[in-house]
Structures are given as C-alpha cells and as structure tokens.
C-alpha cells in the first residue's frame, strides 16, 4: 500500500528512485511518480499504471537529471488512480514537492481553508493539502515549515519532501506510517521498507511516530516534533539482496512457498535448546500465568487464520480459553480484555493499521501484549510488550505463504512453552512434541516434493466456485486455503466447517461442484468422511487432502493430495502447503498477476 523512496547524493537520483519503487511494487499500487531537483527546479514525472510505464516515459530516468529526489507508488484512496492524482504533488510556487503514504483525516477542512487562501488544487488527493501548507508556512526556513505543516495534520503519514531552496536536502516525516532511513557513504536514502534499501545499504534508522529527519548526502539529522535534535541508533539489517529477488523462480509466491522449510526452521531452531523451548527472553512465571484467565489472538487476513490454527494448539495443550478476533472488529468492539488477558497480536508486516489499533485497544485495557511479527523494527514489534519474530525473511508476494507458516511455527512453540509452564503436559509428551516440531521443516519439504502433480489437479478443480471444508484444525486450514485461492486466482472460494454444510450451504452443491476437503485430523476423520459422502451424493467432485497411507480417503474422494503423517496439533503447517500450490497453479493457468493481485496491497497501512 503506497510506497515512498528518497535519495540524496552525487549520482543521478532518478534511476535509484525507479529501482527503489520497483522494490516496493509488491506493496500494491495503481500509479507511480518521481520528482527530482535540478538547477533550482523540480521536474515531476508521473503515470497511472505500472512503474514500467514510468521507466519508459523517463527513459529509465535518464531524461530526469539531478541527484536529489523522491518517488512514490500510490494505492488510490482519495481520488481515482489517474496521472493527476499520482504523487509527487507540487506547491503552486513550484518550490516544494511531496510524496505521502497514509491518510490525512482532516484534509477536507484543510482543503477548504487553503482554497479560501487562494491555493489552487490540481488533484483530488488528501496529500495535496500538505504541499500547499508547506508553501503557506514557508518563510525561508524549510525545517520550520515542515514542523508547522506536520502540526496541522491529523491521521497517518509518512512524508518525503524536497524544496528548491535546499537543493541537497530531503525531509522525511513519520506519523503512524512506516518510514526507514538508509545510511550510505556520501549518499542517504529513505523508504517505506527495507527491501528498497538493502541493495544500497544495510545501515538503517527506524523513524518513530512524531519524528522527522533532514537527509543530506553526507549527514542525517533526526528531530522530535518540537525540532529538538535526537541521537538515534543505527541498526543493521540482516536481510540479503538475494532474499528480496526471485532467484530463478517465475514468481515470488512460488519462491516463497519453496522457502518454507528453511523459513520454518529459522523460526524454530534458535528457540529449541537441548529439547527445551526458550522464547527469546520472553519469560512468564507459572504464578503470572495462573493470573491469566484467557488468551485473545487478534490479526487480519491470513494472520487471523494462523491465529485460528494457533487457538486449537493453545487450547489443546494449555487448556486456557482462546478467543480469536479480527482486528478490524475488535478495535471497535469495546473488547472484554483486561490485565488478566494475554493478547497475541499477529502480523507479517507489523504495519497493518487495524491490527495496530486493536493492539492499542488491548494495551489501554491493561492486557499484556505479545507480538508475532516478521518485520524487525515494525510498529507492532515496537508497541508490543514482547515480540516473537517469525524470521521468515522478506516476503514480497502479496499472498502470504512463508509468512503464515512461520506464524504457525511460533504459535506452536508458544503453546508448548505455556503448556509446560502451567504443568499441563508431562515430560514425555513435551519431549515428543518438541521433536515433532523439529521435524516440521523436513516434512514441509516432503509435502512439496510429494505434490509435483498439483498443476494438473489445479487445472481439473479450477471452477468459478469452490468449497473448502474441514473440521477443527482442518477447518482453520480450509479458511486459509480458500483465501489463497480467492486472492490470487479470483475464483470464488468459500470455506465451511464441514459439520455446518447441512445447516444451509449444502443447498449449493450441484453436479460437478468442486469441493476441497481437508482431512488431516485423525480424530475427526470419519466425521469429515461422512461429509464427503454427503456432498458426493449430491454430485460434488471431491479433492481430499490427507496424510499418506489413509486408505479410507482414497476410496471416497475423486482425487487425493497427500501430506506426510504428522501430529494433528501441528498438521496445519503441512496441510496448507498443497493448498498454496493449488491456488498458485490455478492462478497461473488463468494468467493472473500472481505476485500483485488486483485491488490488493501487501501491507494494509490504512483502515
Ligand atoms: O502484514 P499482516 O500479516 O498484518 O497482513 C494481514 C493481512 O493483510 C494479510 O495476511 C493478507 O490477508 C494477505 N494478503 C493474505 O495472503
């Protein structure tokens, strides 16, 4: 969702900006633009559509001279995705250009005021108010104008600003929207996330809300909102450039599916020592735990579905009630959360606006919050009382895969850890489950290897409408499988708890209706088998997903996809993999834009 980049140095800025924008493409966007300072003027180039069009228009940046500039990918909120509404926006006097990620909530009021003062608007965006405010407050001191402007803005914003009167400087401002400064040698950068920076530098400063920075080619100064200079820590990014590239795969999504054995291992291995789980400094005593009367898990999209799987693991192993709540609902639900509630907030990006708001609601009510987050230094990681990183590495495809399975891995670790702390698991079962966890990466690899036939299966089951069914842990997987299918192949897919079919939805089953039945929960196998029989009796074509060696399923389903046998409580981490592949191949056959599905953004930083 909107991406911003900035560069100041001595070489040509435009190619650096375009390259940075390409790195941010995965966030989702519908127009793009750059503004570069040269000879006391700002040259702006922007297009609706893809960055490739902007590269073509600017001849890969070669016809936009200058060594200081800003760039933007816009995901339309206020106003259609047109050239006019694309960023950067320029002040009426041509002195300032601005790029913005976020939403200015009081923009209507500001717009009226600025129009009254004679400012002329070129776009329908909320962002344009910012650039006119800069002009309004400018009296020869850019830093002061930036501060005065920021003080007028309500909402969320990461801003990149250039001004012709400070031709080497970039200004970066952050409030409730991610912004990271990259520290180079003789050149400096900013970007919405580190994937746009890692090919230039691994040294970064994470700006906090209310802070802003002035970047020159050889210096970076960070200020608080009163203009006081701050001493900020420079952090080292561990992600490699290769990790953010396709590495020979046709799509990032396929690469990320294949990376799951390694990613899950990275999430598990550092936390298991001599058969015992240690959670990176997260300590909770048995006494403190006895004071916890419920666990609330909150998240959005796939992270929410990871929470649904996590719930089964925690409830089964710890016998603590777990409530899983959509963050977009919980934030407005006046939630029944207090200092006896332990809250798990799950987010790959750590920047999802609804999840951040839900986290704040829970904290305000006194709950202890644990973040399960992939992106280091992200907002959720900072706001949580303790963060368990998922160590998935950069996830570029909009559809999450390794982000999701590593969340499961962390939730499984958490469940076992708490269960042991509460004395609800005997030593032998604990040891066996820890061992089973350690086998997960290998079994995920086997799952991938066993499913080479999936392109054919996907082609037979691609239909305008698909059902995904399952019970208990399998239902949680069905939810995620259906979401994967919908978001990348645009096929209508719905998931149902198998036992619910009779209560209404079985009426939709007709001749040849594809039904994907997840049957990996041994205890409920016969129950799901009866549901398969029921839908088949009404003409459905059933593709079942079960563990290798399950003969019963072979006799009932039309087709079967196998996974290695695994402990039920952890089976979601295996079962989801063929469903990811199924969605991938269905989307590929339809010729969809797999890594950047329409209407979606990787990181949903606005409500
Ligand atoms: O970054 P987050 O984990 O907070 O993102 C939450 C959802 O937006 C995300 O999982 C979304 O549903 C994915 N596109 C699913 O593949």
Nearest residue CA, atom 8 of ligand 1? Answer: 301
Q: How far is the CA of 191 from the centre of ligand 1 (A)?
A: 20
Quick one: pLDDT at residue 427? 97
Q: How far is the CA of 398 from the centre of ligand 1 (A)?
A: 8
Nearest residue CA, atom 11 of ligand 1? Answer: 301
Segment 165-181, tens digit of pLDDT: 999 999 999 998 889 99
CB of 396 within 8 A of CB of 371? no
**The model's pTM:** 0.80
Nearest residue CA, atom 4 of ligand 1? Answer: 347
Nearest residue CA, atom 14 of ligand 1? Answer: 399
Backbone angles phi and psi of 235, in degrees to 5: -100, 160
Work out which ligand 1 atom sits closest to the CA atom of 601. 14
Q: What residue segments make up the domains of the chain, in order of their start?
A: 3-244, 252-445, 454-590
Query: What's the angle, vertex CA 524, arms to CA 519 and CA 525, rounded to 5?
Result: 45
- Asked whether the predicted pLDDT for residue 605 surpasses 90, the reply is no
**584: Cβ contacts below 8 Å, ≥ 6 apart:** 251, 253, 254, 257, 458, 488, 594
CATH architecture of the domain with residue range 454-590: 3-Layer(aba) Sandwich (3.40)
- Asked whether the predicted pLDDT for residue 402 surpasses 70, the reply is yes
Segment 202-244, tens digit of pLDDT: 999 999 999 999 999 999 999 999 999 999 999 998 877 777 7
User: Which of 255, 368, 486, 602 is labelled catalytic?
Assistant: 602
Among 177, 195, 252, 303, the mutation site with the greatest number of ligand 1 atoms within 8 A of its Cβ is 303
Task: Of 67-71, 265-269, 374-378, 431-435, give the lowest mean pLDDT range.
Answer: 374-378
What's the average model confidence in pLDDT over 333-360? 96
Ligand 1, CB cutoff 6 Å, lining residues: 300-303, 347-349, 352, 355, 398-400, 483, 487, 600, 603-604
Q: How far is the CA of 361 from the centre of ligand 1 (A)?
A: 20
Q: How far is the CA of 348 from the centre of ligand 1 (A)?
A: 7
Nearest residue CA, atom 10 of ligand 1? Answer: 302
Among 396, 488, 592, 604, the mutation site with the greatest number of ligand 1 atoms within 8 A of its Cβ is 604
Segment 1-36, tens digit of pLDDT: 688 999 999 999 999 999 999 988 877 778 999 999
CA distances from 348 to 131, 191, 355, 367 (A): 32, 18, 11, 21
Nearest residue CA, atom 12 of ligand 1? Answer: 301
Active site residue 502: no
What's the average model confidence in pLDDT over 371-381? 91
CATH architecture of the domain with residue range 252-445: 3-Layer(aba) Sandwich (3.40)
Nearest residue CA, atom 16 of ligand 1? Answer: 399
Helix (H) or strand (E) holding 595, with range, is none
Quick one: pLDDT at residue 1? 67
- The DSSP bridge partners found for residue 515 are 467, 542
Distance, in Å, from the CA atom of 86 to the CA atom of 452, rounded to the nearest integer, reads 43
Q: Helices (H) and strands (E) in the chain — how many of each?
A: 19, 27
87 SS3 class: coil
The CATH classification number of 3-244 equals 3.60.20.10
Strand-pair category, 188-191 with 96-104 = unpaired
**56: Cβ contacts below 8 Å, ≥ 6 apart:** none
Domain 252-445 identical in fold to domain 454-590: yes
Strand-pair category, 294-299 with 341-347 = parallel
Work out which ligand 1 atom sits closest to the CA atom of 352. 4
Sheet containing 235-236: which strands, arranged edge to edge? 41-48, 31-38, 68-74, 3-8, 188-191, 180-183, 203-206, 235-236
Computed over every residue of the chain, the mean pLDDT equals 94
User: Which of 2, 519, 520, 592 is labelled catalytic?
Assistant: 2
Work out which ligand 1 atom sits closest to the CA atom of 484. 16
Closest CA to 370 of 415, 334, 326, 330: 415
- The DSSP bridge partners found for residue 537 are none
Work out which ligand 1 atom sits closest to the CA atom of 602. 14
Q: How far is the CA of 303 from the centre of ligand 1 (A)?
A: 6
Q: How far is the CA of 603 from the centre of ligand 1 (A)?
A: 7
**245: Cβ contacts below 8 Å, ≥ 6 apart:** none
Confidence of residue 121 (pLDDT cuts 50, 70, 90): very high
Active site residue 602: yes
Q: How far is the CA of 485 from the centre of ligand 1 (A)?
A: 14
Return the percentage of the chain with pLDDT > 90, whole number.
82
Quick one: pLDDT at residue 51? 92
Q: How far is the CA of 302 from the centre of ligand 1 (A)?
A: 5
CB of 204 within 8 A of CB of 183? yes
Q: Where are the alpha helices (DSSP H) in 164-323?
A: 252-258, 260-268, 286-290, 301-318
Confidence of residue 491 (pLDDT cuts 50, 70, 90): very high
Among 252, 304, 352, 605, the mutation site with the greatest number of ligand 1 atoms within 8 A of its Cβ is 352
Segment 289-308, tens digit of pLDDT: 889 999 999 999 999 999 99
């Amino acid at each position: 969702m909107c991406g911003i980049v900035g560069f100041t140095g001595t070489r040509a800025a435009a190619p650096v900006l375009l390259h940075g924008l390409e790195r941010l493409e995965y966030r989702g966007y519908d127009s793009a633009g750059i503004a570069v300072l040269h000879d006391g003027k700002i040259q702006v180039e922007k297009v609706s559509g893809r960055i490739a069009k902007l590269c073509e228009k600017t001849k890969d940046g070669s016809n936009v001279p200058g060594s200081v500039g800003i760039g933007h990918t816009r995901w339309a909120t206020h106003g259609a995705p047109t050239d006019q509404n694309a960023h950067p926006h320029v002040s009426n006097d041509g002195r300032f250009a601005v790029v913005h990620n976020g939403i200015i909530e009081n923009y209507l009021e500001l717009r009226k005021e600025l129009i009254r003062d004679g400012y002329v608007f070129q776009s329908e965006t909320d962002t344009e108010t910012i650039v006119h405010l800069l002009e309004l407050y400018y009296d020869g001191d850019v830093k002061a104008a930036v501060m005065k402007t920021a003080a007028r803005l309500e909402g969320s914003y990461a801003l990149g600003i250039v001004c012709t009167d400070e031709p080497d400087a970039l200004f970066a401002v952050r409030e409730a929207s991610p912004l990271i400064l990259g520290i180079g040698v003789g050149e400096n950068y900013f970007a919405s996330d580190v994937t746009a920076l890692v090919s230039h530098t691994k040294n970064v400063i994470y700006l906090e809300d209310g802070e802003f920075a002035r970047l020159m080619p050889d210096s970076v100064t960070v200020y608080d909102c009163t203009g006081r200079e701050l001493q900020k820590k420079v952090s080292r990014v561990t992600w490699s450039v290769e990790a953010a590239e396709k590495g020979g795969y046709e799509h990032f999504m396929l690469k990320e599916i294949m990376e799951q054995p390694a990613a899950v291992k990275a999430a598990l291995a550092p936390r298991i020592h001599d058969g015992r789980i240690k959670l990176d400094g997260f300590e909770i005593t048995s006494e403190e735990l006895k004071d916890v009367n419920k666990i609330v898990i909150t998240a959005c999209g796939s992270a929410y579905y990871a929470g649904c799987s996590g719930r089964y693991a925690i409830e089964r192993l710890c016998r603590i009630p777990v409530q899983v709540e959509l963050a977009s609902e919980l934030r407005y639900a006046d939630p029944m959360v207090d200092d006896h509630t332990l809250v798990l907030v799950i987010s790959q990006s750590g920047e999802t606006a609804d999840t951040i708001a839900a986290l704040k609601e829970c904290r305000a009510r006194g709950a202890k919050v644990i973040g399960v987050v992939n992106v280091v230094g992200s907002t959720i990681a900072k706001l949580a009382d303790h963060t368990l990183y998922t160590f998935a590495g950069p996830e570029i495809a909009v559809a999450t895969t390794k982000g999701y399975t590593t969340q499961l891995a962390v939730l499984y670790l958490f469940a076992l850890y708490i269960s042991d702390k509460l004395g609800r698991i005997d030593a032998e079962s604990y040891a066996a489950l820890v061992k089973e966890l350690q086998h997960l990466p290998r079994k995920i690899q086997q799952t991938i290897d066993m499913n080479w036939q999936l392109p054919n299966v996907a082609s037979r089951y691609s239909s305008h409408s698909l059902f995904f069914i399952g019970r208990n842990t399998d239902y949680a997987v069905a939810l995620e499988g259906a979401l994967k299918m919908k978001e990348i192949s645009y096929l209508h897919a719905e998931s149902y708890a198998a036992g619910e079919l009779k209560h209404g939805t079985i009426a939709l089953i007709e001749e040849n209706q594809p039904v994907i039945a997840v049957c990996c929960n041994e205890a409920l196998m016969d129950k799901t088998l009866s549901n398969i029989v029921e839908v088949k009796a009404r003409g459905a074509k059933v593709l079942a997903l079960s563990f290798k060696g399950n003969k019963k399923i072979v006799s009932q389903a039309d087709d079967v996809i196998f996974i290695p046998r695994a402990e039920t409580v952890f089976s979601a981490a295996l079962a989801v993999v063929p469903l990811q592949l199924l969605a991938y191949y269905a989307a590929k056959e339809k010729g969809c834009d797999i890594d950047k599905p329409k209407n979606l953004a990787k990181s949903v930083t606005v409500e």
